[in-house]
Structure 1
Amino acid sequence: MEWSQIPLGPLQTNCYILSSSGKDCIVIDPGEEGGRIIEFLEDQGLKPIAILLTHAHFDHIGAVDELRDRYEIKVYVHEKEAMWLLNPTLNGSQFFMMGQLVRVKPADVIIAEEGEMSIGSFTFKVLETPGHSPGSVSFYFPQASFVVAGDALFAGSIGRTDLPGGNHEELLNSIHDKLLVLPEETVVLPGHGSVTSIGQEMDANPYLNGF
């Protein structure tokens, strides 16, 4: 399996395109600049079959409807943030986008619990990793040895917890119980910034010294 990282918008939110040996692909967190994502997909000859959301903050959902409508595909989000897609106060655009409110149509599939999930030829594990937001999830692909961690864990940092629904202790517990237990060679694909690994963060992340 291959992945591509596309930083989008003023916050440079990482959108990930996951592709298998065929032309099917999954789009994770299309935060903005839908045209750039579409151009990449067309250039690579890829066919999206689903949109996965690690969480529903505005900078991770801004291009959802543009892609969903163009490719007629389903959007997946955790149940605790299903209403955030429609609500600019909950998704943060009311406060951070200076009048550019983000509203997305309801998700097609609600993730109610963690566990194994299959979409087309893609099989992965949904890990509930709340703390940055109450419905944050990470998508772990054990055979390819990477995890898409959203805004839970970054290279040398962790997600902010001062937004509505954020909880610092809960985030640290999520990282410790769900992410740091993965094999150390697991590549971490974060919601912002550069790629890292579980082992690197265990050794050098100053926010995780207590672990």
Structure 2
Amino acid sequence: MKKTILEIKNLFKTYDGKKNVLEDISLEFKEGELISVIGSSGAGKSTFLRCLNKMISPSSGEILFNNESLVKANKKEIKKIRTKIGMIFQHYNIVKQLTVIENVLHGKLGQMSSIKGLLGIYSECDKKEAFELLKELGLKGHEYKKCGNLSGGQKQRVGIARALIQNPHLILCDEPIASLDPQSAKVIMDILKDISV
């Protein structure tokens, strides 16, 4: 039987004390599952995902990640928990002025001391892992290109590599193919499917 990695109990989110954006959501996610949250624009999908790694705080309810409460966690505990939750964004959320390899290595920042992160001091092991991920994702030869010069599909693969280098237990994807052409979207969905196995 697969382990429950994320448990959501009676989750509510209200903005400005008015209408509920999220209302009484209770779900369980197990290791290895690939789950899609589907809904119309404005239905609260992004709000839901951002509650799951506490980018925003729910109004009430409980979120347990590996049996640890995200709702009750303080800033230091949240930072530690987030090192095990990768996030892939619709609009890539990469730094266009930096190279591909620099953006991928940024995925390690949460696991480093502030000084090393500020100075960009990564271990040889981290660098090797970043190059391997880029090779696996079809970006070999692009490591030193500025991310602003990449196609949408390539930028999204950089975002995936940045999430994967964390060695996360959970990956949250906020409409990862919405900005892509059909061929690039298929490539990204195939990658995400392979990751979850």
TM-score where L is the length of structure 2: 0.27
Q: Which fold has the larger relative contact order, with Cα–Cα distance below 8 Å and residues 6 or more apart in sequence?
A: 2
Structure number having the greater strand percentage: 1
Structure number having the greater helix percentage: 2
